[in-house]
Amino acid sequence: MIDDPADFLPAELPAADLLISFAEHKGVAELLPDLARLTGAQAVLAPVDSEAWLPRGLARQLHGWLEQAGVACATPKPLCSLTKNDYLVARRQRRTYTNAFIAEFARTFGQPEITLTIDPEASQITGCEVRRDAVCGCARFVAQKLLGVSVDEAEYTAGMAHHHFPCLASMGIDADFGDTLMHISGYLLKDNIARQVKPYKHVQYITPGVRQSEEPLKKD
């Protein structure tokens, strides 16, 4: 615990509307209320990409400290679950917020949103528009890998591209998800792709007594 934050802070700092903390040490979270006071910030974004960097108990305390000071706070877990209205804090549990500065940040960075252009005849992805990128740039990287890919291979390709990109999220098992935050990040991106390619995917149904070579392909 930090007894006196003044020992670690400068006498003054430039003015700011929004503070964003990418610190990889939990002690930095204890300084954020004083940093907000020094800068006059109206909002703080402190992502949880690892429990070691911002434990859930400290995150709750941070919300309380900042609320008392009239400062908005968002602690998305992981960072790429942030939207203009809410963010993940645990499996199937999202927390809403109302703050124009955080929402403006989330308009460009946060939960990946890629809009696909699909050729229905060829069942192939012909265009990708990144409407919201992850802070690390992963969505843009994945979008490049999806161009020209079959709709049947899109989710796998997106997942593998995400896996090979240097994700900011931890690979340790997180108790709130029962999975790694890196995997949660990947699922969020793959879900965005899956919703769009689903109407175009080919699903093969197997009829007992009929050889596979004779089985007709049907669209679901």
In order, the DSSP letters of 60-110 are HHHHHHHHHTT-EEE--SSGGG--SSEEEEETTEEEE---HHHHHHHHHBS
pLDDT at residue 144, as a whole number: 97
- Mean pLDDT for 80-91 is 96
88 bridge partner residues: 94
Token pair in block for residue 58: 């400290």
Judged on CB neighbours under 10 Å (0-12, 13-18, 19+), 95 is middle
Mean pLDDT of 129-157: 96
Write down the pLDDT at residue 121.
Answer: 94
Close Cβ partners of 34 (under 8 Å, ≥ 6 residues apart): 5, 6, 9
Tens of pLDDT, residues 157-183: 999 999 999 988 999 999 999 999 999
Q: From 64, 91, 60, select the one nearest 75 (Cα to Cα).
A: 60
Q: What mean pLDDT comes out for the span 132-149?
A: 96
pLDDT the model gives residue 33 = 93
Rounded Cα distance between 112 and 185, Å, is: 9
State which amino acid sits at residue 213.
Answer: S
**CA–CA separation, 163 vs 29, rounded Å?**
29
Q: How far apart are CA 152 and CA 156, in angstroms?
A: 8
pLDDT at 6: 65
Q: What is the pLDDT of residue 13?
A: 87
Predicted local distance difference test score (pLDDT) of residue 93: 95
pLDDT value at position 10? 78
Per cent of the chain over pLDDT 70 is 89
In the structure, what pLDDT confidence band is assigned to residue 220 with cuts at 50, 70 and 90?
Answer: low
At residue 216, does pLDDT exceed 60? no
Q: CA-to-CA distance for 63 and 78, rounded, in angstroms?
A: 17
Give the model confidence (pLDDT) of 32-82 as tens digits.
999 999 999 999 999 999 999 999 999 999 999 999 999 999 999 999 999
Residue 26: pLDDT band (50, 70, 90) is: confident
Q: Where are the domains of the chain?
A: 5-108, 113-201
- Listed as own residue / partner, the contacts of 59-66 with beta carbons closer than 8 Å and 24 or more positions apart are 59/29, 62/29, 62/32, 62/33, 65/32, 65/33, 66/32, 66/33, 66/36
- Give residue 202's pLDDT: 78
pLDDT tens digits, residue range 200-209?
A: 987 766 667 6
pTM of the entire predicted model: 0.84
Q: How far apart are CA 74 and CA 20, in angstroms?
A: 10
Q: Give the pLDDT band (50/70/90) at residue 215.
A: low
